[in-house]
Amino acid sequence: MCECCTTKKDIYLPQLATIEKMRLMNDTEMYFRFNMDDGPMDFIPGQFVEVSVAGVGEAPFTISSSPTQKDGIEMVVRRIGNVSKALHNLKTGDKIGIRGPLGEGVYPVEEVKGKDIVFICGGIGLVPQRSFINYVLDNRDDYGHVTILLGTKCHNQRFFQSELEQWTTRDDIHFLETIDEAHDCWNGNVGVVTTLLPKIESELASSEIMVCGPPIMYKFVLMALAEDNVPHDQIYLNLERKMKCGVGKCGHCQINNYYACVDGPVFKYSDLGIAPEAI
C-alpha cells in the first residue's frame, strides 16, 4: 500500500467491543452496555457509533450514556431492521464491531454552560438526549434551570423507568411527562409532547432547547417554539438519518447541503439555514 495510506487508519474498520449487559426494556427496546476491547472510548454527548454484527451489517446508534459514566458505553436498540434484530439476538459476552465515535455536530456541552436548558424528547428520542441529560446532571452546578419533557406513545413503551422516577423526585430539575394514549396505569398528561409546552411557556424564550424524536415531531415542535418566539440559535435538533458510512462519503444521510453524519447529527437550527429536508 502507498505511504500516505499506511499512515492513516482505515475509516471503515470496526474495533471489537464486548457486550457487558443486555436488558429488554419493553417489547421492542433492548438496552446494551459494552466496553471497547482496546480501552475506553472518549466521546461527546450527541455522537454516535456504527455498530457491526459481522455477517449482517452495520447500523448507526447514538450513544445513550454520558461520558461522565466510566463503566462502559450504553445504547438502546429498537428491534426494527436487520442489524437491530441481529443485535437483539446476541448475548452478554458476545463481540460486536464499533466504529466511532462519529459526528462532529454534537450537543453544545460547553456553549450552554450557565444557561437554562429544555430537553424535548419524543419516544426513542430520549435515548440520544439522555447522554446530554445525564452529563448535565453529573455537572449540575455548571448549568442553569433544567427542564425535561418526555412524550411516549403508550404506557407499555416507557423505558429507563427507574431513572425517570429519580428525575420526578429530584428538586433540581423539572421533569414533565405525557403519554399519547390514555392508560389505566397513567394519571398524568395525555397527548403528544407539544401539549407539555404551554406548561413551561414562560421559560422557553430564555432557554436552550434540545429536540430529539421521531421525524414527524420536529415540525410540530418548531411550530410551537415559533409561537413563543424562541430564537433559532437557541434550538438544537438531533436529526437521525440512514447512515451507511458515517464519515460523509456514501450520501445516504444528506439533508440538502448537509451530511447528518459529519455535520450533525445535532444541528443548531439557525445554522441549518434553508434546509427543508431537515424537517
- We find the least distance from the C-beta atom of residue 90 to another protein, in angstroms, to be 9
List, in sequence order, the alpha helices (H) in 145-204. 161-169, 201-204
Rounded Cα distance, 206 and 204, in Å: 5
For the chain, where are the E strands, in sequence order? 15-24, 29-36, 48-53, 57-62, 73-78, 95-102, 117-122, 146-152, 174-179, 189-190, 208-212, 235-238, 254-255, 258-259, 266-268
- We find the least distance from the C-beta atom of residue 112 to another protein, in angstroms, to be 26
- We find the least distance from the C-beta atom of residue 222 to another protein, in angstroms, to be 17
Q: Which residues bind another protein (CB under 8 A)?
A: 1-2, 4-5, 8, 10-14, 16, 52, 54-58, 80-82, 84, 94-95, 97, 215, 240-242, 244-245, 247-257, 262, 274, 276-277
Q: Which is nearer to another protein, 164 or 250 (CB)?
A: 250
The amino acid that residue 161 corresponds to is Q
Q: Which is nearer to another protein, 19 or 118 (CB)?
A: 19
Q: Which is nearer to another protein, 204 or 261 (CB)?
A: 261
- We find the least distance from the C-beta atom of residue 110 to another protein, in angstroms, to be 22
Q: Which is nearer to another protein, 170 or 249 (CB)?
A: 249
Q: Which is nearer to another protein, 39 or 276 (CB)?
A: 276
- We find the least distance from the C-beta atom of residue 25 to another protein, in angstroms, to be 18
Rounded Cα distance, 30 and 35, in Å: 17
**Cα-Cα-Cα-Cα dihedral sign, residues 78, 252, 13, 107:** negative
